[in-house]
């Protein structure tokens, strides 16, 4: 394993993150604070509780997941797309590094950025609602696995994208709607039976459900299924990345 190459890629991506700290950090925190004000205060005042938890506290895991998934995907996709755009990706492909080392560098940096933002949002939530985490180890595990898995997805999107418009297509038109429809602001049990069944086909449901269980001990689906779902998603993304580097799809064109 070429740790020097991994460290160089990781450090370069993290440096870019801190150069644009206002856009990378302040913007997600401000937008999430608005969600707390609108949903937690305005709407939460009209809802007594959801599954025994105040509505303001209930939406905290969903808001963290919304930011983490979006940021991990966006950062990883832009990280690998920009070298493609300016042509420096060929230098990377000709260097003595394999696909795993490249992936660890870019995905690790994107996951770190998303984890950092998720932590800041978690701290921000204490200014709006009272939160008690029942399973802190599980919460950190779900948060890290979500950051890594969606950074892997973003890495694939960055390789696939042919322009900057396509780079934003999936995060805006696929991931964000799936999070909103995945129980981030409501419990799946509140839906009619037919819609509960349809919602179970949304993969984001399992991530949000497991993460919320770590907070409140209540989940829409069993925790074991949530862990299996995220493990399967990570394995599928790694398999796709291995195939991309093996065939050179969208990299050597």
Query: Who wins on pLDDT, 41 or 131?
Result: 131
Nearest of 50, 51, 27 to residue 40 by alpha carbon: 50
pLDDT for position 131:
86
pLDDT for position 253:
62
* Phi and psi at residue 54, to the nearest 5°: -60, 145
pLDDT for position 148:
96
Q: In this model, does residue 65 exceed pLDDT 80? A: yes
Of the pLDDT bands very low, low, confident and very high (cuts 50, 70, 90), residue 54 is confident
The predicted model scores a pTM of: 0.92
- Give the end-to-end CA distance of the chain in Å, rounded to a whole number: 27
Angle between helices 223-247 and 99-125 (to 10 degrees): 140
pLDDT for position 16:
81
Residues 63-80 have a mean pLDDT of 92
Share of the chain above pLDDT 90, in %: 46
Residues 42-60 have a mean pLDDT of 78
Rounded Cα–Cα distance for residues 184 and 222 (Å): 17
pLDDT digits (tens, 9 = 90+) for 190-225: 888 898 888 989 999 999 999 999 999 988 899 999
pLDDT for position 206:
93
Domain ranges of the chain: 3-247
Q: In this model, does residue 84 exceed pLDDT 80? A: yes
Mean pLDDT for all residues in the chain: 88
pLDDT for position 45:
65
Of the pLDDT bands very low, low, confident and very high (cuts 50, 70, 90), residue 61 is very high
Residues 241-250 have a mean pLDDT of 91
Of the pLDDT bands very low, low, confident and very high (cuts 50, 70, 90), residue 168 is confident
**Long-range contacts made by residues 179-184, C-beta under 8 angstroms, separation at least 24?**
179/62, 179/65, 179/66, 179/69, 179/70, 179/204, 179/208, 180/66, 182/62, 182/207, 182/208, 183/62, 183/208, 183/209, 183/212, 183/220, 184/59, 184/61, 184/62, 184/63, 184/65, 184/66, 184/208
Of the pLDDT bands very low, low, confident and very high (cuts 50, 70, 90), residue 33 is confident
Q: In this model, does residue 24 exceed pLDDT 80? A: no
Q: In this model, does residue 23 exceed pLDDT 90? A: no
Q: In this model, does residue 126 exceed pLDDT 90? A: no
Of the pLDDT bands very low, low, confident and very high (cuts 50, 70, 90), residue 25 is confident
Of the pLDDT bands very low, low, confident and very high (cuts 50, 70, 90), residue 44 is low
pLDDT digits (tens, 9 = 90+) for 130-150: 888 999 999 999 999 999 999
């Amino acid at each position: 394993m070429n740790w020097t190459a991994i460290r160089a890629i990781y450090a370069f991506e993290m440096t870019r993150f801190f150069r644009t700290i206002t856009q990378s950090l302040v913007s997600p925190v401000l937008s999430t604070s608005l969600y707390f004000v609108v949903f937690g205060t305005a709407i939460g005042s009209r809802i007594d509780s959801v599954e025994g938890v105040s509505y303001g506290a209930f939406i905290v895991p969903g808001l963290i997941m919304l930011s983490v998934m979006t940021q991990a995907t966006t950062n990883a996709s832009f990280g690998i797309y920009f070298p493609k755009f300016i042509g420096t990706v060929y230098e990377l492909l000709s260097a003595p590094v394999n696909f795993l080392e490249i992936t660890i560098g870019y995905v690790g940096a994107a996951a770190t950025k998303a984890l950092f933002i998720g932590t800041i949002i978690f701290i921000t939530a204490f200014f709006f609602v009272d939160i008690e985490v029942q399973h802190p180890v599980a919460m950190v595990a779900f948060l890290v696995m979500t950051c890594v898995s969606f950074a892997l997805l973003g890495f694939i999107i960055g390789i696939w994208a042919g322009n900057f418009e396509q780079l934003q297509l999936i995060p805006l038109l696929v991931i964000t709607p799936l999070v909103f429809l995945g129980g981030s602001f409501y419990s799946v049990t509140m839906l009619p039976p037919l819609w509960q069944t349809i919602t179970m086909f949304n993969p984001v449901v399992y991530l949000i459900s497991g993460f919320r269980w770590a907070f409140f001990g209540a989940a829409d689906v069993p925790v074991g299924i949530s862990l299996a779902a995220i493990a399967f998603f990570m394995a599928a993304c790694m398999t796709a990345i291995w195939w991309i580097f093996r065939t050179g799809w969208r990299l050597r064109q």
